[in-house]
Structure 1
Amino acid sequence: MLRIAPATLCVYCQRMRLLSTTCVANSTPINTRLENQHTVDAFYELSVDIRKVRKFKGWVLSESSAYVAETADFLRGLGADEACIARVLETHPEAVLCRPEEVEAQRDLWSTVCPKPRELVSIIEKFPASFFTVSHHAYQKANIQYLQSLHLSKRIVGKLIASAPQSFSRPVESNQKVIHTLRETYLDLGGSQGNLRVWLQKLLSQNPYILMRPAEAWRDSLGFLRERGFTTEELLHLVSSLRASIAELQPEAMQQALDYTQGVLQCSEEELRQIVLHCPALLYYSVPYLSGRFKGLLDAGITPEQVKETPNILELTTQIVLFRIQKLASYGYDVRGGSLDVITGTKKDFEESYGKLQLRRQRPLFNPVAPIRTVEE
């Protein structure tokens, strides 16, 4: 039997004891830093899931300075209940590392776009990382002031800073450049100065990350579409329909999508432009994606001519199209010989069309002027 010297055994036991303690403390790969027991206990008292924190942000528990009680009191002061506080700290435990004065400064800043405490709590619960990233406070302040100078609504600015904090974590000049390009684009395409603010608000609300797109991306996308023959009025329609998505389109990808669609539908340039105006999403569909859509439609018996007449059918997945065709067929409606309008649109639109078809089939036929037969007759 193997004998272990007492000294060796002592060292071995010490190592195993250390290994065991560390593993229990972290429940994940070994962390060489010991946990701050005060932080752990404070999290327990707030019903925070320690296992979750250890798994994803275990390093927070090892920091020597933490303001758990102060952070919880701050959230309570805004009206947050205990469940909300626990969710915030589980999602973003780094919040307890912010000094109380930094958190107060964030509250004062964010209150300029979200003055109601309950609404601010709701934003913090959804986007805790955005609020508790205090290192970019100066940039956030400058960008908020700039966007407010454009007379944008507080709700829009609040949504931007919460859901797209990267846009507020950089010098204000970067956002000014993008906004200037957006304004120039809208006015150059025939938009009116009076509608500019409303259009800009819709654009930013649709895609808060629009400010992260380079200004040149807008010029490249619109320049390509202009070369394809779209008029100024049509370009304004596309920009308004696609909103911020148009800045994410690459000319090469759009070229491939348009060429493929034109080849499948055997349409002219003018017909192709009308198809795009009725289905702007076609511009950001990849060729493999379009191939699958067209194959599904043609296999279902739908003709290219029908697609040209109702191009927004391409916005539906093949599964949805087949399901709606089969559902309509059960009431005797064959889309292969009629319009595709009945199966396009949202689920609500289709249910309304389907309901009308059901009523038409179920309504009893009778002659309103014929005498009613009685039992005696």
Structure 2
Amino acid sequence: MPGFRVLLRLHRPSAQAFNFFVASPAHLISGGIPKGLCTVTTNASDTKPSSGPENESLLESLTFMGVDVKMARQRQPGVLRKIITNEQGLSDFLHGKGASRKVVASIISRYPRAITRTSEHLEQRWALWRGVFQSDSKIISIVDRSPESFFRSSDNDNLEKNILFLGSLGLNAKDLHRMLTTAPRTFSNSVELNRQMVELLEDVCAELGGEDPRQFAKAIISRNLYILIRSTKRVRTNIDFLKASFKISDHELLETLQGNGAEILDLSNEYLRRNLKRLQEKLKSLSCQKVDVKNLIICYPTVLFIGPDTLNSKLDCLLKAGISMKQILEKPKVLEYSTENLTGRLQELSKLQYDFKKNGINILDMSRKRFDARLERMSLTSDK
């Protein structure tokens, strides 16, 4: 193997030597001497990639395992230049947990760095995850869907400390489950960094007259899983901006933030300001008052996530169908649907001469199944 040579006796190796080196089938040659080896030493994850050529023996091993080497090279090319890796140990570990050969190959293809994790590290991390999830099969399904969530961090001690800290806030296993799968970087943060965000949220609650700062912080984290990977400066600036932009009482802002408004804190300050400005301009052009904008944001803060062009398209689509702005403000969740979805539903309702002024717009907010069932009943009625 380039840059690394090991001489092994041709007779049966000692137990110590066998535990130190693990050879995959792809590494064996006719003479019985391993052509390439995987190590499970504890510093595998810390080994820096060589600046030289790719490890040909590693490439052969990965190819034999069914790994998409081209994809791996695109994702994390440095891994393919490493001299010491643990691909066979990783494969054996995941197989032991119920993963198929195809799943293992897919995981390595999409997140090659996984092969730098030692077997000891894998056992420790699995035990920590097992304390959150109900079964090995559940973890396998998550790791298959998002390898980064499991393999991104190599610091198990930090993961354990974060799990304990977040649990102390009152976050349950379901909350931790969602955070591990959707915002894994939260657990790569130092506990101190996560604590700073929690303390900021608790301070905000106290400033707004809240009686339970810890519950306030928990509510926001539960609703905005990405909050802990944002900067405290961004969150503070967004809160101050919202408070200054409207004549919102402390109580109203408190309720908004720990409700659907928690997600607003995730936006960049520039994006938030631009969207709010364009929203105000659009509603003003439709003869809405400032209080309408305020009420819309309190009732449906998610509107600030919608890009200006997309929002204009949705509003124009609804208004052209004979729906009033007042109806939209009273039922703003219809804006969650795509313009294509709204257009399709409006066309179907138009064929049945649906009267929005008389019947309202709740029908637009139904699930597809309920919407279709409602159309069928309306169609049967109109045929009589």
Regarding TM over 0.5, the answer is: yes
Map 1:250-261 onto structure 2 (within 5 A). 250=269, 252-253=273-274, 255-261=276-282
Structure 2 stretches of 5 or more lacking a match?
1-50
| Structure 2 counterpart of 1:223, from 194, 217, 240 | 240
> Match for residue 290 of structure 2?
269
Calculate the aligned-residue CA RMSD, in Å: 3.3
For residue 164 of structure 1, what is the amino acid of its counterpart? A
Among residues 1, 11, 33, which one is paired with 2:53 in the alignment? 33
Alignment of 1:175-214 (within 5 A): 175-186=194-205, 193=212, 197=215, 203-214=220-231
Q: CA deviation at 1:352?
A: 4.3
1:93 paired with 2:105, answer no
CA distance in 2, matches of 1:34, 1:317: 46
Match of 1:72 in 2: 91
Question: Please, which of 174, 193, 202 is the counterpart of residue 155 of structure 1?
Answer: 174
How far off is 1:349 after superposition?
4.7
Q: Could you say which residue in structure 2 is the equivalent of 1:83?
A: 102
Are the aligned partners of 2:230 and 2:266 in contact in 1 as well (CA < 8 Å)?
yes
Equivalent pair of 2:125/2:156 in contact (CA under 8 Å) = yes
- 2:66 alignment partner, SS class: coil
TM-score, structure 1 normalization: 0.74
**2:295 partner SS:** helix
Determine the structure 2 residue equivalent to 1:145.
Answer: 164
User: In structure 1, what is the Cα distance between the partners aligned to 2:352 and 2:79?
Assistant: 62
Change in Cα spacing, 1:109 to 1:351, as seen in structure 2 (3 Å) is same
| TM-score, length basis structure 2 | 0.72
User: Is the CA contact (8 Å cut-off) linking 2:227 and 2:265 kept in structure 1?
Assistant: no
**1:156, 1:205 within 8 Å by CA — same for their partners in 2?**
yes
- Higher helix share goes to which structure? 1
Output the CA distance in 2 between the equivalents of 1:356 and 1:183: 51
**CA-to-aligned-CA distance 1:147-182 (integer Å, 9 cap, x gap):** 122232123224323432322223211111212233
Residues 85/359 of structure 1: CA separation in 2 closer, same or farther (3 Å cut): same
Q: Which digits, 9 at most, give the CA deviation of each residue in 1:74-120, with x for residues without a partner? A: 11222222222222222222222223223233233333333632223
May I ask how many residue pairs the two structures share in their alignment? Answer: 330
Which residue number corresponds to residue 314 of structure 1?
A: 335
Secondary structure in 1 matching 2:155? helix
Tell me, yes or no, if the aligned pair for 1:91 and 1:128 is still in contact at 8 Å: yes
- Give the aligned partner of residue 241 of structure 1: 260
Match of 1:169 in 2: 188
Q: Matches of 2:262 and 2:164 in 1, distance apart? A: 24
Q: Residue type matched to 2:347 in 1?
A: Q
Instruction: Report the AA paired with residue 33 of structure 1.
Output: P
Residues 350/238 of structure 1: CA separation in 2 closer, same or farther (3 Å cut): farther
- CA distance 1:190–1:341, shift in 2 (3 Å): farther
Q: Which residue of 1 aligns with 2:62?
A: 43
Establish whether residue 281 from structure 1 lines up as the match of residue 302 from structure 2.
yes
* Cα contact 1:102–1:134 (8 A) shared by 2: no
Deviations 1:284-335 (A, max 9, x none): 3343333333333344444444434444443333333332222112122243
- Residue 106, structure 1, aligned to residue 125, structure 2: yes
User: Which amino acid in the other structure matches residue 80 of structure 2?
Assistant: L
**Structure 1 residue 263, shift from structure 2 partner:** 0.8
Is the 2:76–2:112 Cα contact (8 Å) retained in structure 1?
yes
